[in-house]
Amino acid sequence: MNPFIHPALFYRTDQEYLAALVPFAAQGLDAGQPVAMAVPGRRLDVLRAGLGALARHVTLLDMAVEGRNPGRIIARILRRFADRHPDRHVRIVGEPIWAGRSVDEYPACAQHEALINLAFDGRDVTILCPYDLSTLSPRAVADAYVTHPVVWEGTDERTSDDYDVPGLLSRYNEPLPAPPSHAVFEVAGTADLAAARRFAVAHAGGLDRVADLELIVTELATNSLRHTGGPCRVGVWRAEGHLVCEVRDGGSLTDPLAGRRPPGRGQLSGRGLLMVNDLADLVRVHTGAAGTTFRALLRLP
């Protein structure tokens, strides 16, 4: 039997939230299990107050900050905590989806929820994912049944008949929205990387996070050159409060967990997409037989 447990927790009120999560933490701590809870902003205040004295035994993280980009949650929150305790069952609460997630963010959030199942398959870990039914869209709730094998609601624990990780990953591997007209720079080989950086910065239109943009464009283009053996095209534009850096190549991405695994010590490769997930506020990917598009978004002040 798979020791990994990944329920969605449906709640409507703060009372229902605490009635589920406080005992989840308390029972874990009583059993000597490490407990971490990563929930967004105001929910963190509610949870901290509800935990009372227990709070100082729980690792509390603001998901809206640490997990702003859902692409980094597995490596930087879930695996980082679970890997620190390889000898014991670990309990984690992760709430990556809330009503404030934008239409651009949501598909990446749903993909993240599905990928948790692949990343933790066979691990002695419970990851409980709260869903606020009072504010979330019907689509988000329906998707929670697809990304979680079980659903908890009050005292009810039911198996999800809709659980379908490959189906969800395929459904949200959708062509990205058409960009506005923008300049494009072709990277034919590694000798063009320095020019690609200058192109990206020149078309960013003034940016505080120039260093982040330089790293993102370099790591994405390097990743494309390395894995496809062919050229890639870099595009940069501004849209809806973000700077968007896009890299298109002719390859297809076959590893759904690329960029989501923490690196081993001394590992010299395989960190490029992980770095991009760390640096960007959102990363969207579309891959298929015709090629792969990466879009890294930096929130503008």
202 is a contact residue toward other proteins (CB under 8 A): no
By beta-carbon proximity to other proteins, the closer residue of 51 and 215 is 215
Nearest distance in Å: CB 289, other proteins: 26
**Which among 192, 188, 199 has a CA at the least distance from the CA of 246?**
199
By beta-carbon proximity to other proteins, the closer residue of 25 and 296 is 296
CB burial of 211-225 (b: ≥16 within 10 Å; e: otherwise) equals ebbbbbbbbbbbbbb
Cα-trace Rg, the chain: 20
Backbone angles phi, psi at 240, to 5 degrees: 50, 55
What strands, in cross-sheet order, belong to the sheet with 184-187? 184-187, 232-239, 242-249, 291-299, 282-288
Token readout for 274 is: 């992980």
Site for other proteins in 238-267 (CB under 8 A): 265-266
DSSP-derived secondary structure letter, 56: G
282 is a contact residue toward other proteins (CB under 8 A): no
211 is a contact residue toward other proteins (CB under 8 A): yes
Nearest distance in Å: CB 283, other proteins: 15
By beta-carbon proximity to other proteins, the closer residue of 84 and 158 is 84
Applying CB under 8 A, among 101, 148, 197, 295 the residue interacting with other proteins is 197
Nearest distance in Å: CB 300, other proteins: 18
Phi-psi region of 122 (alpha: psi -120 to 50; beta: other; left: phi over 0): left
Site for other proteins in 156-195 (CB under 8 A): 189-191, 193-194
Length of the chain counted residue by residue? 301
77 is a contact residue toward other proteins (CB under 8 A): no
By beta-carbon proximity to other proteins, the closer residue of 144 and 297 is 297
Nearest distance in Å: CB 156, other proteins: 41
Place of tokens 């320095």: 194
Chain residues that interact with other proteins, rule: CB under 8 A: 189-191, 193-194, 197, 210-212, 214-215, 218-219, 222, 225-226, 265-266, 268-269, 271-272, 275, 278-279
